[in-house]
Amino acid sequence: MLTHRNTYLVLALLLVIWLTARFFLQMDISAWWLVLIPLIYIPLCVWGAIKVQANFFLPSLSQANTQEKVVALSFDDGPLPEFTPVILDILKEEEVKAGFFCIGKNIPENEDLLERIHAEGHVIGNHSWSHDFWFDLYSRRRMMIDMDTMEDQMLNVLDLKPRMFRPPYGVTNPNLATAIKLQKVKSIGWSIRSMDTVAKDEEKLLQHILSQLHPGAIILLHDTCKITADILPRLIAGIRERGYRFDRIDKLLNISAYA
């Protein structure tokens, strides 16, 4: 399995072999071979950081292992008063339970929305307190403080501690791997990225999502986007027309949502 640890060990072994051959066995091996190590290591780390499904730095649950035609909807970045209530209305009418990965700083003054998400049978995950652009450069300790601050908001409003954590921007690294392990939470990714935050055309967005449907899929959406609220009834209908049913993300993955 291609992971950061395995990659590091293999490249370290290659370095040891080169050093042994060059300096102990006195073999005439060019130093240019050393350039291959960073040329392999750096691109792999970048790829592993931006692709949460790769499980390169840490294991993330990005889809269910099933052949059953079942999918889960997940919404990031709320709760916010403009579109979260609209999306909740649609989900209630369609009888679909979803996962909401909330940003902690959005909870104050929107506690009623958080309570409504929970009361209507949806599940809530931690999407960090700040969702800072520089979150991925935080130290392990600062990441943990950020995650804890969001948890405190959840505890204050709902008396619940989330066990599901979705990395901001879906980016992972060694610091986050350690923080998640120490926090005893599970990293949750996705297998279908809707790109609703940048989409302009409703039909293209719908087809982009529907064309990627597969058993056990986790679909990434945002309850902060007008286009998401606008297409959601048609998206749900399109998924059902293709023979799929919906399950709540924690049930789809067979994990506990709260500590």
Q: Are residues 160 and 41 in the same domain?
A: no
Q: Are residues 64 and 34 in the same domain?
A: no
CA distance 192 to 57: 20
8-state DSSP, 257: S
* Residue 42 belongs to domain spanning: 4-50
Q: pLDDT tens digits for 224-252?
A: 999 999 999 999 999 999 999 999 999 99
**Mean pLDDT for the stretch of residues 174-201:** 97
Q: Are residues 213 and 136 in the same domain?
A: yes
pLDDT, mean over the chain: 94
Active site residue 222: yes
- Residue 33 predicted with pLDDT over 80: no
Q: Are residues 114 and 142 in the same domain?
A: yes
Q: Are residues 26 and 149 in the same domain?
A: no
Sole residue written with tokens 């993955």: 253
* Element holding 102 (H helix, E strand): strand 99-102
Cα 121 to Cα 117, 124, 231, 254: the distances in Å are 7, 10, 22, 16
Q: Is residue 55 part of a domain?
A: no
Per-residue confidence band for 18, with pLDDT thresholds at 50, 70 and 90: low
**Mean pLDDT for the stretch of residues 105-127:** 98
Active site residue 76: yes
**How many domains is the chain partitioned into structurally?**
2
- Residue 66 predicted with pLDDT over 90: yes
Q: Are residues 118 and 231 in the same domain?
A: yes
Q: Are residues 170 and 110 in the same domain?
A: yes
Q: Is residue 259 part of a domain?
A: no
Q: Are residues 127 and 206 in the same domain?
A: yes
Per-residue confidence band for 40, with pLDDT thresholds at 50, 70 and 90: confident
Quick one: what percent of the chain has pLDDT higher than 70?
Answer: 98
Q: Is residue 258 part of a domain?
A: no
Q: pLDDT tens digits for 72-102?
A: 999 999 999 999 999 999 999 999 999 999 9
Active-site entry in 222, 223, 247, 250 = 222
Q: Are residues 11 and 139 in the same domain?
A: no
- Residue 130 predicted with pLDDT over 80: yes
Distance between alpha carbon 60 and the CA centroid of its chain, in Å?
Answer: 8
CA distance 188 to 249: 9
Q: Is residue 85 part of a domain?
A: yes
